[in-house]
Amino acid sequence: MALMHIHINKGVFYSFKIKDRKRLESGILLVEGEDWVLISSIFSDYIVDGYMLINKKYITSIHRTEKEMFTEKVLKASDKTDIVPYIDIPHLSIDSLFKWLEDKHIVFQIDNRDENQCWIGKILDSTKKSIFLTPLTPKGEWDRSLYYAFRKANVRIISFNSDYINSLMAYNKKHVEESE
């Protein structure tokens, strides 16, 4: 589905259906780029939890029903819609996005087809078509003994600055790095 044919507005709450996934991803639209949309992720009910980049070629539908409108009203009432992204990703194209993630050493989560599986890490290296991720384990430790390879074009969702990732990074900084 090409989003160019659908008018979506910055600052509005939407739910996105992603190809091969049952769960809708919801959030406030911050930026629509060439290849990706950036939303302030609403993980559950009215909890703002970091940022999510969604690859536009995997969006099969965009929802703006009474449920989304009500959620937006609740978020506005609690002053959670005036979110200014602290990031400046040029054009949100595939190449500029992954270069930005690599240059800024952003720790992020990749979600692909299986919504029950994700990978968290930072870019170790990249080529024109692929990225190589140094994984962060669920125990908050960097596993430098291996890496994961992903085709850039196949990545459906990238999440960062979430409570889960930030908590693991805080633990890593306080407990893991101190013991090394």
Q: What's residue 1's pLDDT? A: 45
**Per-residue tens of pLDDT for the chain, all 180 residues:** 445 456 788 889 999 999 999 999 999 999 888 899 999 999 878 888 999 999 999 999 999 999 999 999 999 898 877 766 566 666 678 888 999 999 999 999 999 888 889 999 999 999 999 999 999 999 999 999 999 999 999 999 999 999 999 999 999 988 766 655
Integer Cα distance of 154 and 111 in angstroms: 10
Q: What's residue 179's pLDDT? A: 58
Pair 135, 143: CB distance under 8 Å: yes
Q: What's residue 114's pLDDT? A: 85
Pair 125, 146: CB distance under 8 Å: no
Domain range annotation of the chain: 3-179
CATH topology of domain 3-179: SH3 type barrels. (2.30.30)
Strands (E), the chain: 13-18, 25-32, 36-44, 47-55, 59-63, 108-111, 118-126, 130-135, 148-151, 157-160
Integer Cα distance of 132 and 137 in angstroms: 16
Integer Cα distance of 87 and 109 in angstroms: 17
Q: What's residue 45's pLDDT? A: 80
